[in-house]
Structures are given as structure tokens and as C-alpha cells.
Amino acid sequence: MDIDRQVATLMQGTEYGDADLKKAMTQELRERLTEAQKSGRSLRVYCGYDPRTTDLHLGHTITMRKLRQFQDLGHDVTFLIGTYTSLIGDPSDKDKLRPILTQDQVMENARTYAEQAFKVLDRNKTTIRHNHEWLSELSFADLINLASNFTVQQFLTRENFKLRFEKGDAIFLHETFYAIMQAYDAFMLKADVQVGGTDQLFNIVTAGRKLMSALGARPNIGVIMGILPGTDGEVRMSKSLGNHIPLNTDANDMYGKVMSLPDKAMPEFLRLVTRWTAEEVDEKLAALKSESLHPRDAKMELALEITEIFYGSEAAGTAQAEFVRIFQEGSMPQEMPEFVWQPEQTVLDVLVQAGLVASRGEGRRLIQQKGARLDGAALEDPNQVFPHGGVLQAGKRKFLRVVKD
């Protein structure tokens, strides 16, 4: 693949919020790729993932898929597990303080991260690192030296800190350490390229490049990806919000969860999660706009593609056939009772109050066994606010049409 096509592929799906910044990063990437090709060396590329919870979800795979593109082009990829940055937690997308985890909690969460990542990354071409390897070795004098490269004003210009400051909400000093720690990761990995989401723009492009230059290293290039919305189509995918599609699930559940997406979320999923080229995505979006492609059919193509990525073509095909059997060929009853749910009710509340389970304990067991499904997608958190209207299934034979008040 020539350099121009490599650049086009690697910059697909990127968002910077500033045309000049995107132009600058694109040009630097082109120059670095050209230099690497002439010298015969591979670029060093990485992305960090903080194990604040035990599971990765589809939103995490946006950056993983970009790492895989670099792998396929012959570059060196590091999957960095933030076993030390997780102690603080990234404040970039938060309007309040994150809880502080213990080292034991972080290490337990990190235990399965690499295996989950290999559903996207090439196991044989991926280096796994943990940032406690170097961050835990820093002395207080080292931290003073690193922090001397930044001003308080730089942090207060960040949108989330700015809003908290204006509201009079606390901004704790340790929260400012996160960007410094992540910048030091880039320096220690001698990174040519760092991949991250738009919430990482300050950490990568401002803090990372500044610190690397201050420490005498060539600044890395930020490849900044768009953020995937959750299954509600409203806010970013997050396990804590219950709108996520986990990687540790099964083909039927993943297919069903994608099919539960609102139509408005499809463009982002088409661009960010599939293996389709930019041209193929544009063709599908144009067909949707002209109504030559029905949204249901487009969503089935999308669900099949995403499920196939993680579970293979056979399992994905079986999941699609099962979905069609239940939801399109009348295997579920034509007539079913309706239940009007209130906005504050949880999944467990609806199951109990609608009479689908005899007790809250039975409801929890049903959810643990993935026996409670909304439009074919398993509901995983009994305390999650009920996500949206649709067909609620409890076990194999109980169906209920849930509608909003």
C-alpha cells in the first residue's frame, strides 16, 4: 500500500475538533511513515486501557481496530494496560471525582484484558505492557520535575475542570496527575504514534507531546478517534450506564444488542466498528438516505458484520437466523400483554411488577443466566434503569410488550 493510501486508511474515523490540528497530525503521520519506509523500520504505536472494571466493551474496540490497522501495515503495536493510571482514573470525560481504586482491585480487573483484546488484535504481533512498570518507580523529585512542565491554567482550560471550577465543585490535585502520567507512558514507550478517543485529546496532543519534547524525545503523533455511542444512541458507551455491548458475551447477545440500536446511532457504528472501507460506508449511508436500503436491513447487515468480527461467520449466521426466527417469523406470540413502564423503574422492577418473575431473587437469577432479553439483547444489570420500550422476554416462553408512559 502506498503512503497516501496508508495515511487515508489510518486517519479514517479520526476527529480533532479543529481542521488545522487534523491537517498537522495528518502531515506528521505522512512524514513519519515516509521516513520509516525509507529506513526499513516500523513505527512504535500504542494505546492505553485503564482496567477500572473487569470487562472491555465494543466502545474500546474503536482504538483497538485502529491499532490492528497499524499491525496489518507492519508496525509495532503495544497494548498498554494502565495498572497505575487506573489508581486515579481519567477525569477527561467526568464532571465529578472518580473513586480511587486499590492496586489489588486494578490488578484483578486487568487479568482478562489482554485476552479480550486479542479478539481484535493479532496475538502474535502485540506487545502487552503495564504502566506500573515505570510509574511506580518515580520518586517525588521525579514528579516535581515532570509537573514543572505544566501550568495550572492549562488544566483549568479543560472543559470538565472548567465547568467544575465555575460551579464551585472540587477539583482534586491528584486528578491533574493523570495527564502527566499518561504523557510519561508515551515517553517511556518511545512512541511514534498514540491512539486514543476524543476525550484523550488533551492528554495525548497537549500533555504527551509537550512532555516528550521537554524530555528530549521526538513528540508522538496523536491519532484521535471518535467516541462510540451506547445502545441508547444518546451518550457514550459505558458499562456504568448500562448501555454497553460487552466483548465477554455470546454471538446471540451481541447480535441482539446491535439490533436494538436506534436508527440514529447507525452511522457512527458503520464508521467506527465495522471492517468496511470509507467508500462502502458512504454507499450504505447514501442508500439509507435515498430509502433504497431499509434501516432494518442495514441494521441486520451491521449486526452480522460486528458479530462476525468477534465470533466468526458461522456463529454470526446462527445468531442472525435465531433473531429472524424469533422476531421476524412469528416464533414469538402475535399477541402479548403490554406493560407501561415509568422512567425511574429498573430492569428488575419491570420484571417483578409485570409478573414475569415471582420474586426479585428469581429476577436476579434470570438476568445472571442471560434469560431476560429486550428485543433479543440480554439485559445484564438488574439495577439498570429500563433502557427503552420493546419486546421483553423472560426465559423461553414469556413475552411482554413494554411501552413508555
* DSSP three-state, residue 229: strand
Q: What is the pLDDT of residues 96-129, one digit of tens each?
A: 445 666 777 777 777 777 888 888 899 999 999 9
375 Cβ contact partners less than 8 Å away, ≥ 6 residues apart: 256, 259, 260, 327, 390, 391
What does the pLDDT read at residue 331?
66
What does the pLDDT read at residue 94?
45
* DSSP three-state, residue 30: helix
Phi and psi dihedrals of 315, rounded to 5? -65, -40
CA separation for the pair 49, 304 (Å, rounded): 27
What does the pLDDT read at residue 91?
54
Task: Report DSSP state, residue 112.
Answer: T
Closest CA to 226 of 190, 273, 283: 273
Torsion of CA 41, 180, 110, 253, to 10 degrees: -90
CA 368 to chain centre: 23
Kindly report the CATH number that applies to the domain delimited by 332-405: 3.10.290.10
* Residues 249-269, mean pLDDT to the nearest whole number: 89
pLDDT band at 211 (very low <50, low <70, confident <90, very high): very high
> What single-letter amino acid sits at 149?
N
* DSSP three-state, residue 49: strand
CATH 3.10.290.10 domain position(s) in the chain: 332-405
* DSSP three-state, residue 15: coil
pLDDT band at 173 (very low <50, low <70, confident <90, very high): confident
DSSP per residue, 262-291: -GGGHHHHHHHTSS--HHHHHHHHHHHHHT
CA separation for the pair 38, 69 (Å, rounded): 20
Task: Report DSSP state, residue 106.
Answer: H
Q: Which residues of 133-151 are buried (b: 16+ CB within 10 A; e: fewer)?
A: ebbeeeeeeeeeebeeebe
- Other residues' Cβ atoms within 10 Å of the Cβ of residue 387: 19
List the Cα angle 27/28/33 in 5-degree steps: 100
Q: What is the pLDDT of residues 370-379, one digit of tens each?
A: 889 888 888 8
Closest CA to 33 of 14, 7, 8: 7
Predicted TM-score of the model (pTM): 0.74
Inform me whether the pLDDT recorded for 334 exceeds 80: no
CA 30 to chain centre: 26
What does the pLDDT read at residue 328?
66
Minimum mean pLDDT among 76-85, 87-96, 261-270, 391-400: which range? 87-96
Inform me whether the pLDDT recorded for 131 exceeds 60: yes
What does the pLDDT read at residue 330?
56
Kindly report the CATH number that applies to the domain delimited by 250-331: 1.10.240.10
What does the pLDDT read at residue 326?
76
CATH 3.40.50.620 domain position(s) in the chain: 3-225
CATH 3.40.50.620 fits 3-225, yes or no: yes
What does the pLDDT read at residue 96?
46
Q: What is the pLDDT of residues 51-105, one digit of tens each?
A: 777 678 899 899 999 999 999 999 999 999 988 888 775 554 444 445 666 777 7
Strands (E), 179-245: 193-197, 221-225
Q: By the 8 A CB rule, do 347 and 384 touch?
A: yes
* Residues 35-57, mean pLDDT to the nearest whole number: 89
CA separation for the pair 118, 382 (Å, rounded): 29
Q: By the 8 A CB rule, do 297 and 265 touch?
A: no
* DSSP three-state, residue 209: helix
Percent helix, percent strand, percent coil in the chain, to nearest 5: 50, 15, 35
Strand pairing report for 372-374 and 390-394: antiparallel
